[in-house]
A and B are shown apart, each in its own frame.
Chain A
């Protein structure tokens, strides 16, 4: 009796073991790592669409929170267990490419021949030393949100157009009794702080590689003035963008600066709000904004480079990619979609985002961008908290950046 059951179990397990390889051989799995919580990007939708229509190649996606993402990827690189595709925040792309972590897909891209369909900013962020290391998946940018009711109550009209207006609005809209500050924005010591601040540096006529130039200090001077006058929510220097928007949504600030991903916080608010282009410096006349967004990249040493490329290309078909941008609440990286689609033109809020995107500039690209960015973060915070004058803080950062670039 016992003998027979042992035999039976052995036979069954043998059968099972034999059947596994055949099931695996029939299918290739492409692993995709990303950092999008549900509802913040249409990647999940795209993966479902692909898996529903493809039998031989399946996409398996894995969500890793943004804060842990780089650590997981580096761990995978050092232990040779890389996925096929990763999502890269565009200022980090050059660093990954310089690391030798990404597959050179120049040949595929040339054969595909759609490079000219993309905006320059996002596209350039995927290039390193003249070679292609990825494809932009989406773009985003930041605009000014303002509380229309508060603006009206203060006897002002419309959004602030210029920096002079911006200061005036921030001052007039601040009301200590009502616990309202003129502005809340993310100015923290992290990449998103730089993302938010960089447009102000650029609108003043400066750029990050010449922080000791006199025009570089203009933006930081204005913001730290506003901050020290108490017109900006003090916690702004520890806020991420969504927290800054949270203060705006609870009517504790009259203006905030953030991107389309935070629109969901304004769904059920009982006040009138609108968006506008970031105010510019009147005597310089440059408009600027931050270019955000993610790129697809194929890892070097990936098991299924061919299939991974096939998936990426499949998501970038003209109509499909438009749906992916819309469903994910993102802005197009492809200029043909931006020009031809009605979606962004018909909705006034989306139109403002798209208009602002035209002025958006990429961060970097530079393999040492995180270090460069860190110097700017320190300078920002020194000036905002009054530890150093803006010019002084920026001159110090300029010297440090120079030694990083050596």
Chain B
């Protein structure tokens, strides 16, 4: 086959693909590969300006994994991600169930809730930092006005509470996203099935657990997976609210990676943490893709 006819039959597809391949190559593949390379080299404050960096194999990986901070930070990341996604999903689901119903001002309420999602995380973090302030925060003010508590809670300054503080902010931030995806799924469900169930005398719980949730499985797993990936790499919100403190109570993998790279100039170790995050999310995505592909059959 000569070039011309190959071009006409199949080759032109590659021409259409080229822009996105070039874009992905420069902005996605290159940084990932570069990050991987520097994680195997010794790139730190002393060697940064030198042209040739020493190859050190897995030394950086071993140093990070054996660092006692790693376990602490990893645990924080897990708690933060799972805690956020769990509550975001439950609340988002409840709101979605509510908002698919037809009632006056429905669209207005939907739009209003989504506004929260449009606000940049830095702004959300700053606002919540003040809401959760020990002495002057609105949250503590209301809690004490309603006599729910007598002593102000140190939301962000007590190491035992700080994680809960940032979780509240992040859950708030993530609800609209979960809600919108689930509303999309819910509106697509065939109404005839529900009508049949009504005739059979199914109650609300039966309809929820035996019809809605099974039929929504695809949407639910997509929502959860996207939620986990988004939450796992949250940086700005935490950085603004606590900077990873007090002590290391809210230090998660992204904030730690930033600290290693740009506070300590230990780029290799910062890259190691970023790569571990990447690897974890990759494994997670592969499991998800296999799972959802299997379901479709």
Q: Which residues of A contact B (CB under 8 A)?
A: 70-71, 74, 77-78, 95, 98-101, 179, 181, 188-190, 233-238, 252, 300, 367-368, 370-371, 374, 378, 381-382, 384-385, 387
A238-B265 CB under 8 A given contacts A179-B136, A252-B136? no
Which single residue of chain A is at the shortest CB-CB distance from B134? A234
A189 with B244: CB separation less than 8 A: yes
Interface centre among A71, A190, A370, A374 (most CB of B within 10 A): A370
How many residues belonging to B are interface residues under a CB distance threshold of 8 Å? 29
In contact, A189 and B245 (Cβ under 8 angstroms): yes
**Dominant SS among interface residues on chain A:** helix
Nearest Cβ on chain B to A319's Cβ, whole angstroms: 37
A179 partner residues in chain B, CB cutoff 8 A = 135-136
- In the complex, which of the residues B45, B243, B244 contacts A95, with contact meaning CB atoms closer than 8 Å? B45
Report the bound CA distance from A315 to B136 in whole Å: 45
A180 closest partner in B (C-beta): B135
Q: List 11 A-B contacts (CB under 8 A).
A: A70-B265, A77-B48, A99-B45, A99-B46, A234-B152, A238-B243, A368-B45, A378-B248, A381-B246, A384-B246, A385-B159
Indicate if the CB atoms of A101 and B48 lie closer than 8 Å: yes
A368 CA / B263 CA spacing, docked (Å): 10
- Alpha-carbon separation in the docked complex, A114 to B212 (Å): 80
Contact A374 B264 (CB under 8 A): yes
Given contacts A70-B262, A95-B45, whether A238 and B242 have CB atoms under 8 Å apart is yes
The residue that A381 contacts in the complex, of B45, B241, B245, with Cβ under 8 A, is B245
Q: Specify which of A98, A190, A237 is in contact with B45 (CB 8 Å cutoff).
A: A98
Bound state CA distance, A367 and B49, in angstroms?
Answer: 14
Given contact pairs A95-B265, A234-B157, A237-B157, A300 touches B246 in the complex (Cβ within 8 A)? no
Partner of B246, one of A78, A189, A233, A370: A189
Contact of A385 among B158, B243, B263 (CB under 8 A): B158
- What residues make up the interface of B, taking CB atoms closer than 8 Å to A? 45-46, 48-50, 129, 133-136, 152, 154, 156-159, 241-248, 259, 262-265
Q: B158, A235: Cβ atoms under 8 Å? A: no
Chain A residues, CB < 8 A from B243: 188-190, 238
Closest to B43 in A: A78
Q: Which residues of A contact B244 (CB under 8 A)?
A: 189
Chain B residues with Cβ under 8 A from A382's Cβ?
Answer: 247
Which among B133, B154, B248, B262 has the highest number of chain A CB atoms within 10 Å? B262
Min CB distance, B81 to chain A, in Å?
A: 22
| B135 x A385 contact (CB < 8 A) | no
Most buried by A among B156, B242, B263: B263
Decide yes or no: A367 and B45 within 8 Å by CB, A71-B262, A385-B158 being known contacts. Answer: yes
**Chain B residue contacts of A189, Cβ below 8 A:** 243-247
Query: How many whole Å from A259's CB to the nearest CB in chain B?
Result: 20
Q: How far is the CA of A234 from the CA of B242 in the complex (A)?
A: 13
A190 to B46, CA, bound (A): 22
Q: Nearest Cβ distance between residue B134 and chain A, in whole angstroms?
A: 4
Bound CA span A233–B154, Å: 11
Separation of A252 and B134 alpha carbons in the complex (Å): 13
